[in-house]
Amino acid sequence: MLRQRVVTAIAVIVPVFLLIAFAPSGVVAGFVLLVVALGAFEWARLGRFATKGTRAAFAVLVLAVPASLLLAWGGAGWTEMHAWVLWLGVVWWGLVFVGLPTYRPGLGAGTWGRWLLRGAAFPTLAPAALALVWLHASAPMLVIYLLLLVAAADTGAFVVGRRFGRSKLAPDISPGKTREGLLGTLAATVPVALVGAWGFGLLAMDALVFVLLGIVVALVSVAGDLQESVLKREAGAKDSGALLPGHGGILDRVDSLTAAAPVFAAGLLWTALFPQGGG
């Protein structure tokens, strides 16, 4: 299993990083929309749409939101129209943070709860997709940095939680996650954020803001992971899919990123750390 995970990771990570680093923004946008479509299809399965046809229709509906906005706004940069979608994502993840502690198993048993879980796909996937496209248009290295930051946060939580984890973080959602693991997230995030601040050539005060933003983004990424855990728990599924051998599905790999991307992009917009990109 470990060998399969490593082989799959290399086969996916290398092409994705090369795509982000060297492909034009239009190609990257197409790739992001493909990921959204695949993730939405998996979401439909977890949302208990019975047939492949209804799952595909749901995926198209979810995909239509970021696709139509990208077509309508074209290659424009950080305009006010873009900003409100990013802030919608921030508000959504604020609501998720408030709602997660109140979760109890069985949410999806009723009609209202089931449609709430299904509808969550829209504010989760659309702002994340648009944030990634705009970050790439601004500077491809911002996307690569974000991916490394989220990966470090996940790895830190896993390693520290497995070695020192005692106190459950959200036992009703994901029994394996611990408060100690959350500290591991912070421990792994700070060095990556510091290296990022140095790599982007930020001065002292801007670097401090950038590191603090990285910490916030890493903590928010945990909410993305937990939200998907709720979906899988309600569906009685271990993984969101089987597209990536040894890793599960698309959502299993991008769950943290869906929360991190809009918060990171909105944070950069708010702090004005980088010029507003476009084109």
| Mean pLDDT of the residues in the chain | 88
**Which of 92, 85, 47, 130 has the alpha carbon at shortest distance from 220?**
92
Q: What is the pLDDT of residue 278?
A: 41
pLDDT digits (tens, 9 = 90+) for 57-78: 999 999 999 998 888 776 545 5
Percent of the chain with pLDDT over 70: 89
Q: What is the pLDDT of residue 69?
A: 87
Q: What is the pLDDT of residue 3?
A: 60
Q: What share of the chain is helix, strand, coil (3-state, %, to 5)?
A: 80, 5, 20
What is the pLDDT averaged over residues 140-163?
93
Q: Distance between CA atoms of 85 and 7, rounded to whole angstroms?
A: 36
Look at 122 and 82; give whichever has higher pLDDT.
122
Does residue 277 have a pLDDT over 50?
no
Band of residue 162 on the pLDDT scale cut at 50, 70, 90: confident
Say if CB 153 and CB 256 are below 8 A apart: yes
Look at 210 and 10; give whichever has higher pLDDT.
210
Q: Distance between CA atoms of 35 and 202, rounded to whole angstroms?
A: 32
Q: Distance between CA atoms of 89 and 120, rounded to whole angstroms?
A: 11
Q: What is the pLDDT of residue 4?
A: 60
What is the pLDDT averaged over residues 34-47?
95
What is the pLDDT averaged over residues 77-102?
83
Using CB atoms within 10 A of its CB, is residue 109 exposed (0-12), middle (13-18) or buried (19+)?
A: exposed
pLDDT digits (tens, 9 = 90+) for 182-196: 999 999 999 999 999
What is the pLDDT averaged over residues 31-40?
96
Say if CB 252 and CB 196 are below 8 A apart: no
